Amino acid sequence: MTTPLDDSVQYLKHVGPSRAEDFARLDIHTVRDLIWTFPRDLSDRSNLFRIVDLPEDRPATVVATALMVSERPAGRRRGRAGMSITTAEFADDSGGILEVVWFNQPWLKDKLPNRRVLIHGKVKHERGRWQMDHPLYEILPDDAPLHTLNFGRIVPIYPSTGSLNQGVWRRAMAHALDTRLEFLEDPLDPALVEEKGFMELREAIRAMHFPENPEQAKEARRRLVWDECFFLQLAVLAARRHALLDLPGRQFTIGPELDNRIRRLFPFKLTPAQDKAVRDIVRDMKSPLPMQRLLQGDVGSGKTAVAAYALLAAVANKAQACIMAPTSLLARQHHETFGRFLSNSANARVRIGVLVGGMPAAERRAVLERLANGTLDIVAATHSAIGDNVVFHDLGLVVIDEQHKFGVRQRFELSRKGVRPDLLVMTATPIPRSLALSVYGDLDLSVIDTLPPGRKPVKTLWVSQERPAEAWELMRRELSRGRQGFIVCPLVEESEDSDLNSAEQVFRELQAGELHGLRLELLHGRMKRPDQQAVMDRFRDGAVDAIVSTIVIEVGVDVPNATVMLVEHAERFGLAQLHQLRGRVGRGVDQGYFVMLSDAKGGEAGERMSALMASSDGFAIAEADLRIRGPGDFTGTRQHGLSGLRVADLVRDIDSMADARQTAAAVLEADAELVHREHLPLRRELVRLYGKQWDRVAGS
């Protein structure tokens, strides 16, 4: 059922087709999308100051009349050619004078004189008078009120792009709220809203955009945070309840003979931590209820071998299995790794394939046909496995690698390719237990908390970008010993807008300089996939000494002979990224080295690198990452499908999450399928947030 909230934003006053295209770039297509896009900040412009009372070195708003206005060229100094400066003097009834300067707005010379103007900017006091440089302003019509969308109130600040300046945002939002908000359904039972002491939903939405005071903004946020946590918990608890329903599911047979047969394929003995994870998985697979398990293990801990055990156990039971990875490189590496395991068995009849984007059409069709007719047992794939044209003959096990690169929707979409298949989710980004229970509350948890024997902790160094000789000396020493290395850069190519070293620039400089005479190759995400794969194959085969790369090698690259990695401009990478990158070296018996080149000294960048220097424990790194940059990027919720989390902070709002989880559990206990009349709005909201699969999850 559609409502005026589902109208395109282009039909709102002040928008139109062109601005609608700019909104679409922000994934805002409908009026509903718009009103659920909250300000990134609020600017308190509610207090109007007289000029003589202006606060020094703070932003302030004043209403005054323009007196003298002049305009002149900015001068001929570098960067100022063609620029102009407009200077105006303003006065009000306090007797004070405010001097204001604008750059490149010559039309103000004719528009400002003798007009009342609202002005907002940072105030400074110099040469005995008040001054503002390039402030925001609004010319007021005669007798107009001093409270507008932009001044005299708490003002929302939205993300600007293209034609979407703040004025456009606020006018479009105000029109949407005035004409469409009445059609918004509050999915919560009024009794629950009253019990929790919450604002009504429409009031909360309006107050998130245009609060009357800070307290109202706080109460609006409290309501919406709780709602987000509640629907997240309804989703994960409903999914878990559905997975554990006593419905016919696949019950795998895994006895001692099969266990021994699989273990003999590995050219190593599983560690005690791997063994424990395998026991958890075997217990789940032997159960008639579908496995729902999250496998956490730090970089290099051996998750792939555990996944391979599960995949081979499924195939031995005549089922198909799929492992989904976030990149083509990692999917292809899984394909090669499983092939190496199977090469150790003279009797192996397991048929494995790969399905990634950019494959030749004929090759892709052949893989799809074999999946559909059952002549392919295991496929290593990227997110392309989710596509509607991918049909499995009998999918019994889904493994999702690097879960933090995907989201809730992707994992359930892939699970729908079979009849209640077992699900194993893996991540090398350790998740604090409280966060795991919140975001992955539908999954049981296994942890591989030790590294394989013989592994030495990677030595981490922080070297100044201006004095990198120590770093290159270490790199050359390792390569001269027959070891291999990586040089990682944040950019592919040079840009006029950045002074960062690009991969292409560094590659050229190293060929002629510090690594002259060594075998170097370039690897980045803009290369064609076959070319990327060819570079990695040569690197694995030892035909390349070092790769100059972007973060395309962040996950999954496993070359035991690689012992050293140097990261240019390390301050530009996230803490989890740096930890992942560090995990690409020292995967053999030799000492590994991880070198961060950066001149960052403080702030978040400094905190990130200090945390990495202090610990190699992935869980300690995870806690630090969560503390430094918040949970949205950490869990992938902002970009990867955990819909609805627009306001909540999973650290700051953990108490709301716990309370919402308790309420969600009680609702599902009373009405597991959300079919009671008072719960139908909840069901509709789940479908809106998480897609139609939640109708299925709820049991219909």
According to the 3-state scheme, what is the secondary structure of 295-326? Answer: EEECCCCCHHHHHHHHHHHHHHCCCEEEEECC
Per-residue pLDDT at 641 exceeds 70: no
Strands 562-567 vs 484-488: parallel, antiparallel or unpaired: parallel
Which strands sit side by side in the sheet containing 484-488, from one edge to the other? 459-463, 593-597, 562-567, 484-488, 546-549, 520-523
Select, from the ranges 126-135, 358-367, 522-531, the one with the highest average predicted confidence (pLDDT).
358-367
Torsion of CA 485, 490, 495, 496, to 10 degrees: -120
Q: Which residue has the higher pLDDT, 147 or 391?
A: 391
Torsion of CA 365, 367, 371, 373, to 10 degrees: 60
How many other CB atoms are there within 10 angstroms of residue 575's CB atom?
Answer: 24
**pLDDT-based confidence at 403, cuts 50/70/90?**
low
Please report the pLDDT score of residue 696 as a whole number: 55
CA 297/CA 310 separation, integer angstroms:
16
**pLDDT-based confidence at 2, cuts 50/70/90?**
confident
Please report the pLDDT score of residue 524 as a whole number: 83
Q: Which residue has the higher pLDDT, 236 or 682?
A: 682
Q: Which residue has the higher pLDDT, 343 or 361?
A: 361
Which residues, other chains included, contact 358 with Cβ-Cβ below 8 Å and sequence gap of 6+?
328, 528, 529, 530
Please report the pLDDT score of residue 383 as a whole number: 81
Instruction: Report residue 693 CA to chain centroid gap.
Output: 22
Characterise 455 by phi-psi region: left (phi > 0), alpha (psi -120 to 50), beta (else): beta
Burial class (CB in 10 A: 0-12, 13-18, 19+), 107: exposed
**Furthest C-alpha separation in the chain:** 96
Per-residue pLDDT at 563 exceeds 60: yes
The DSSP output letter for 694 is H
**pLDDT-based confidence at 644, cuts 50/70/90?**
very low
Place of tokens 């206005």: 69
Over residues 348-377, the mean pLDDT reads 91
Per-residue pLDDT at 662 exceeds 80: yes
Please report the pLDDT score of residue 433 as a whole number: 54
CA 167/CA 158 separation, integer angstroms:
10
The DSSP output letter for 491 is B
Helix (H) or strand (E) holding 581: helix 575-582
Please report the pLDDT score of residue 243 as a whole number: 58
Instruction: Report residue 479 CA to chain centroid gap.
Output: 35
Please report the pLDDT score of residue 485 as a whole number: 93
164-180 pLDDT, tens digit each: 888 899 999 999 999 99
235-246 pLDDT, tens digit each: 878 876 765 565
Per-residue pLDDT at 9 exceeds 70: yes
Which DSSP string corresponds to 63-83? EEEEEEEEEEE--SSTT-TT-
What residues pair up with 97 in beta bridges, in sequence order? 91
Which residues, other chains included, contact 550 with Cβ-Cβ below 8 Å and sequence gap of 6+?
488, 489, 490, 491, 492, 503, 523, 524, 525
Helix (H) or strand (E) holding 365: helix 361-373
Cβ contact 601:629 at 8 Å? no
- Mean pLDDT estimate for the chain: 84
430-447 pLDDT, tens digit each: 666 556 655 666 677 788
Q: Which residue has the higher pLDDT, 206 or 426?
A: 206
Select, from the ranges 376-390, 446-460, 523-537, the one with the highest average predicted confidence (pLDDT).
376-390
Over residues 556-563, the mean pLDDT reads 81
Please report the pLDDT score of residue 638 as a whole number: 38
CA 297/CA 451 separation, integer angstroms:
9
Please report the pLDDT score of residue 391 as a whole number: 92
Please report the pLDDT score of residue 56 as a whole number: 86
Please report the pLDDT score of residue 501 as a whole number: 65
Closest CA to 277 of 91, 385, 110, 427: 427
Q: Which residue has the higher pLDDT, 241 or 411?
A: 241
Q: What percent of the chain has pLDDT over 90?
A: 40
Token pair listed for 241: 């309840």
Please report the pLDDT score of residue 79 as a whole number: 47
Cβ contact 587:454 at 8 Å? no
Cα–Cα distances (Å) from 201 to 169, 175, 534, in that order, read 21, 18, 55
Per-residue pLDDT at 201 exceeds 70: yes
614-628 pLDDT, tens digit each: 877 776 776 676 666
Q: Which residue has the higher pLDDT, 30 or 145?
A: 30
Give the angle 109-112-115 at the CA atoms, nearest 5°: 160
Which DSSP string corresponds to 424-468? EEEESS---HHHHHHHSTTSEEEEE-SPPTTPPPPEEEEE-TT--
Lowest mean per-residue pLDDT among 30-34, 409-413, 617-621? 409-413
Select, from the ranges 298-307, 314-323, 570-579, 683-692, the one with the highest average predicted confidence (pLDDT).
314-323
Per-residue pLDDT at 320 exceeds 60: yes
Which residues, other chains included, contact 627 with Cβ-Cβ below 8 Å and sequence gap of 6+?
651
Token pair listed for 361: 């059409």
Lowest mean per-residue pLDDT among 39-43, 285-289, 543-547, 583-587? 583-587
Per-residue pLDDT at 643 exceeds 50: no
Place of tokens 């932003």: 59
**pLDDT-based confidence at 492, cuts 50/70/90?**
low
Over residues 273-298, the mean pLDDT reads 90
Token pair listed for 519: 């075998």
Please report the pLDDT score of residue 81 as a whole number: 53
**pLDDT-based confidence at 635, cuts 50/70/90?**
very low
Phi (first) and psi of residue 601, to 5 degrees: -120, -30
Please report the pLDDT score of residue 152 as a whole number: 81
Please report the pLDDT score of residue 28 as a whole number: 92
Per-residue pLDDT at 650 exceeds 70: no
Please report the pLDDT score of residue 232 as a whole number: 85
Lowest mean per-residue pLDDT among 251-255, 430-434, 662-666? 430-434
Place of tokens 């292409």: 504
The number of residues in the chain equals 700
Token pair listed for 436: 């795991």
Token pair listed for 489: 């850069």
Torsion of CA 514, 519, 525, 526, to 10 degrees: 100
Q: Which residue has the higher pLDDT, 346 or 109?
A: 109
Q: Which residue has the higher pLDDT, 635 or 150?
A: 150
Per-residue pLDDT at 476 exceeds 70: yes
- 3-state SS string for 248-286: CCCCCCCCHHHHHHHHCCCCCCCCHHHHHHHHHHHHHHH
55-86 pLDDT, tens digit each: 888 889 999 999 989 988 876 554 455 578 89
CA 631/CA 649 separation, integer angstroms:
7
Measured on CA atoms in the order 611, 612, 613, 617, is the torsion positive or negative? positive
Over residues 532-551, the mean pLDDT reads 88
Cα–Cα distances (Å) from 351 to 7, 311, 329, 387, 637, in that order, read 49, 12, 20, 22, 35
Token pair listed for 444: 């049981």
**pLDDT-based confidence at 550, cuts 50/70/90?**
confident
Which residues, other chains included, contact 277 with Cβ-Cβ below 8 Å and sequence gap of 6+?
295, 297, 306, 446, 447, 448
Lowest mean per-residue pLDDT among 39-43, 400-404, 578-582, 692-696? 692-696
Phi (first) and psi of residue 64, to 5 degrees: -150, 170
Cβ contact 556:303 at 8 Å? no
